[in-house]
Amino acid sequence: NRVLLGCFLLHYAQRALIFPLLIREGKPTPFFTFVLALLFCVFNGYLQGRSLTTYATYPPGWLGDLRFITGFLGWLIGMAINIHSDHILRNLRKPGETGYKIPRGGMFEYVSGANFFGEILEWFGFALACCTMESLAFALCSLFILGSRARQHHK
């Protein structure tokens, strides 16, 4: 449970603390969008935390189970893709440059929304490693929310 909770916390430490410090210039986020995202993260954080600290029980040797190993590798690879894709996106334009640019490199060579793909892979890996309804619900929410954003970006 601690390893899985650590994975969840590591993602959000990177997303909430490190990622914002690396952004150079960004578009302002509408207040309503910010509030909805905050509410989702608070509710989901409670749900995942409560599940992993109170309800989820794993047999001895779970960290050696194929489901955990496969899921953990999916989570790790997804997080790496997500972080690398964010790095590519941050460095698309030179300071002062505006306009749309198509990202190149990394997973962007295979999918137009590599950052979204990485995060979706991350949470489906997490769901497999956890094998809980709560983690599966989170992965599906991520798929629908980020998938629709990826589709918009692709268009």
DSSP 78-134: HHHHHHHHHHHHHTSS-TT--S-----SGGGGT-TTHHHHHHHHHHHHHHHHH--HH
Q: What is the average per-residue pLDDT within 62-73?
A: 97
Report the pLDDT value the prediction gives residue 53, as an integer from 0 to 100: 95
pLDDT tens figures, 13-62: 998 888 888 887 767 789 998 899 899 999 999 999 999 999 999 999 99
- 2-13 and 66-90 helices, crossing angle to 10°: 10
Say if pTM beats, i.e. exceeds, 0.85. yes
Q: Judge contact between 25 and 97, C-beta under 8 A.
A: no
**Rounded average pLDDT over 121-136:** 98
What average pLDDT does the chain have? Answer: 92
Q: How far apart are alpha carbons 125 and 105 in whole angstroms?
A: 23
> What pLDDT score does 114 carry?
96
Identify residue 11 by its one-letter amino acid code: H
